[in-house]
Each structure stands twice: as structure tokens, then as C-alpha cells.
């Protein structure tokens, strides 16, 4: 196994620690309508990102499976799409390790 592969495996095994995002019930109650609307808009973007960040390998596997199942794509298109998803995954893992 190369050093790069070993480093990648170590990064995969790291437990991704995400900071607290959800407000307390008291914080929600104290928000005015504008603050609450702003929080909902942020949550709609942030929560899906956090879901992927908790288990990126699972999401990569799902995406690759969907690409392979697409009968409208040629083999070359599938390879390119899979490669793009793998590159995205590597960037995500490397960014989380910083």
C-alpha cells in the first residue's frame, strides 16, 4: 500500500466532529420572525451538508450506484461522472482533515 493510500485510509477512519448547529428550544423561542426565517434558510443548506460530512463514503457509494444504474449514459460518461464524484470525495476528506 502506498503512503498516499495509507493516508487516505487513515482519513477515512477519522471520526468527523461537527460543531453544534441546532439552537436550544429557548433560543428558538427568543428569535423574532426575521431571525427565525434566517435560521431556517441556513438550516436548509447546512443540515444536508452535515449529513454528508458525517458519512461521506456512504453518500459516495450511493452516488456511484446511481451513476452506474443510469442506462442513458455511455460507459465513458459513467467513468467521467464517477471520477468527478471520487475527486469531490477526496477534496471533502482532505478539507476535513485540516
Task: Give the residue extent of every domain in the chain.
Answer: 23-54, 55-98
pLDDT reported for residue 15: 45
The separation between the first and the last C-alpha atoms of the chain, rounded to the nearest angstrom, is 23
pLDDT reported for residue 91: 81
Comparing CA positions, the residue from 65, 58, 62, 44 lying closest to residue 16 is: 58
pLDDT reported for residue 97: 61
User: Mean pLDDT in runs of 10 for the chain (98 residues)?
Assistant: 55 58 94 96 88 82 94 96 90 70
Amino acid at each position: 500500500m502506498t503512503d498516499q493510500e495509507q493516508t487516505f485510509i487513515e482519513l477515512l477512519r477519522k471520526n468527523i466532529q461537527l460543531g453544534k448547529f441546532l439552537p436550544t428550544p429557548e433560543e428558538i423561542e427568543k428569535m423574532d420572525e426575521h431571525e427565525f426565517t434566517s435560521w431556517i434558510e441556513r438550516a436548509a443548506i447546512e443540515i444536508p451538508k452535515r449529513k454528508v460530512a458525517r458519512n461521506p463514503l456512504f453518500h459516495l457509494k450511493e452516488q456511484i450506484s446511481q451513476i452506474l444504474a443510469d442506462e442513458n449514459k455511455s460507459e465513458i460518461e459513467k467513468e467521467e461522472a464517477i471520477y468527478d464524484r471520487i475527486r469531490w470525495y477526496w477534496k471533502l476528506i482532505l478539507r476535513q482533515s485540516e
